Structure 1
């Protein structure tokens, strides 16, 4: 009795504070992961309002990445996302995923037969279903399957980024709703690429456009080059940062117009006055660590803040250790040396899209046309600041 009586007034005071003092409740909820925050918001009206304010304040990009053998009957990244999404502190609005093609295609079930197109499509649908269950319904998902992956370990801004040209690896960049920033996905094939479609996607006639990340697939097929030029031409003559490359395949694909095995482009368009972007091209002649560092150092000229900034590296599969006399992780290490607090992500693909483009106000280092944005045996290294 005495013990209960002793704790009664304290418990009563704590209950009063947690039921009436919004400042205290809101401070406590900043330590609650987003998934648990939604459950907490059901307690009462005060907690719901505090939870909403906390969600609006969590506007920093985060990521989940994984490498090595999976403990699950699926790619290692999906297993990492199942665990990691329980502990993130944001509500994802857009998710950009890169997954290595060898291990993604080689999984059991519908991934068992790597050369069977039907099995690949069924596998993509199965993976999209899993991602839809993991991520919020409103989250826009863009996924590319690539020969190699560049990633920074989960939750560690200062951890060294790693280049994976072999082995199981993947990442998911998670973007929340950010005030003053608009991120929108687009997907075009030969049946859907028109001027009006480009305008609707915000890729043409959009003065707020700052960055376009795009990932082409099956461009080697007849008509693929002409299709890509049609998309790149209006972007090449603008101050928009364009970066990306060619991957094995993408999903989700538009089933209403894309024929199986056809060529196309999937990507993200980033608009808003707070966004800044810059990129440099490491051409075929850049073949030593010192030369790589010297080229990447030119990104410093853009004076982009490192806070809330992400780096992208889109490299040819012919680079990596084969290009640098069997030295591994050369370009990722050079980037980290120069930008130690900026996470780096990307892929090794079948061709690169981008150029030297350091945009500061109205200053552009390099202007080019559509063909000047397309390369082989190169690396595009970019910075994107989200404000």
Structure 2
């Protein structure tokens, strides 16, 4: 009788555990780590955990500020606990993290390390690496000031001497989801490799250097470049334009940079890494940008430029903005804070915006008439002609309100004669404002629809 009762109890318990409605309700309350644990229990739970992940948001963002605390009042442990909780206890499992940190915060973490005299690192890399999945890549950039958006879509420009950090996380489920064609590719180039890039442009070569071959096989839509304060030659950016079929290039001069790729390889600041950054790749990615130049000093002028960015009509359901501003702008130009970011928020109410105040800016207005889609492919092996086994690049690309969306094509570079007058990429006292749409493939316009929108 006791055995029968135990059997009946176990049967009832298993029946409850495998009740789809009950499991769904429970799983909605779990964070990503808890879902992964439950997925190992049985096939039913594994399937329901997968479904629950697919229903969730694909991106998360926030910023963390010390709110003008004096250095002695800043509780680093409490601050890091809130950052770690945001990453670990959230609804998504991170696949790529972009993080901007103020130099004041970075220096303060270093002071804590020296005072405690502990072997474990107190810098951001030492704090971040242990809490992330091993295959999660990340990019950490340290500058004088940062721009961040909180989880309620309030955006702040946190300029010099602020203890602040902003980040955006892209879910692993988004990067693996069949309706998205999306990849974030961190990269790092040494001084010698930058010299090769410089020579590629200056010599008009059609043969890409070996270290670029991996990226040549990806559909690169945007390249984010983070360079030392000493700067880079403009020709490096022009080489990227030719090699990668004219993607959007943006970024700036920063105090330090550090990245970890999917394989776990870490690249830090000079001398090992002259230029670091990440590429946004994939068929579903659409991008645009505007320059807020040094002469712009009124909210009305900013409004006009940001409206031109909105006029590209990029899908905003899965979008984010990047703002690369000069440390001499912000309150120094407008005599009050948050002018440029507040105008962006007005026109893009559901799009998070983050970035930094640096010591030099990289970018251009994009799309641009100065960046033609190549009409004749040039094989990277240097033949000067299209590979007969492959079709030449198509000239019909996605269009938004009459603007042709530039696409990359693997195995080819743009000929030197086709990019004689590229746009200026290096600036001072400027803001580069970028919009990146990660719309799903199913929501993208077809070629016929794109052509119809231009007629």
Would you call these one fold, judging by a TM-score over 0.5? yes
Q: Do 2:257 and 2:268's aligned partners in 1 also have CA atoms closer than 8 Å? A: no
Residue 165 of structure 2 is aligned to residue 170 of structure 1: yes
| 1:1-387 pair list within 5 angstroms | 15-19=14-18, 21-22=19-20, 24-26=22-24, 28-58=26-56, 60-68=58-66, 69=69, 72-73=75-76, 76=79, 78-109=80-111, 126-153=123-150, 155-156=151-152, 159-166=153-160, 167-177=162-172, 178=175, 179=177, 180-193=181-194, 195-200=209-214, 202=215, 204=216, 206=218, 208-220=219-231, 224-225=232-233, 229-235=235-241, 238-252=245-259, 260-261=270-271, 264-324=274-334, 326-358=335-367, 361=398, 363=403, 372-387=424-439
Displacement of 1:126 in angstroms is: 4.4
Displacement of 1:229 in angstroms is: 2.4
C-alpha change, 1:233 and 1:43, in structure 2 (3 Å) is same
Displacement of 1:239 in angstroms is: 3.8
Displacement of 1:109 in angstroms is: 4.1
SS at match of 1:191: helix
C-alpha change, 1:133 and 1:368, in structure 2 (3 Å) is farther
Q: Do 1:282 and 1:378's aligned partners in 2 also have CA atoms closer than 8 Å? A: yes
User: d(CA) in 2 for partners of 1:105 and 1:22?
Assistant: 51
C-alpha distance after superposition, 1:143-188 (max 9, x if no partner): 00011000001x22xx321000031111121112323111111111
Q: Do 1:320 and 1:329's aligned partners in 2 also have CA atoms closer than 8 Å? A: yes
User: d(CA) in 1 for partners of 2:351 and 2:289?
Assistant: 14
C-alpha distance after superposition, 1:167-214 (max 9, x if no partner): 1111121112323111111111123455221222x1x464x2212222
TM-score for the superposition, normalised by structure 1 = 0.81
Greater shift, 274-283 or 78-87, is seen at: 78-87
User: d(CA) in 2 for partners of 1:174 and 1:145?
Assistant: 17
User: d(CA) in 1 for partners of 2:122 and 2:272?
Assistant: 17
SS at match of 1:358: coil
C-alpha distance after superposition, 1:348-385 (max 9, x if no partner): 00111111103882635998966711111100011101
C-alpha distance after superposition, 1:63-83 (max 9, x if no partner): 23211248533694x333212
Unaligned residue ranges in structure 2 (runs of 5+): 197-208, 369-396, 407-418, 440-455
**What is the alpha-carbon root mean square deviation over aligned residues?**
3.4
C-alpha change, 1:10 and 1:336, in structure 2 (3 Å) is farther
Displacement of 1:261 in angstroms is: 4.5
Displacement of 1:299 in angstroms is: 0.6
Greater shift, 254-263 or 56-65, is seen at: 254-263
Greater shift, 143-152 or 23-32, is seen at: 23-32
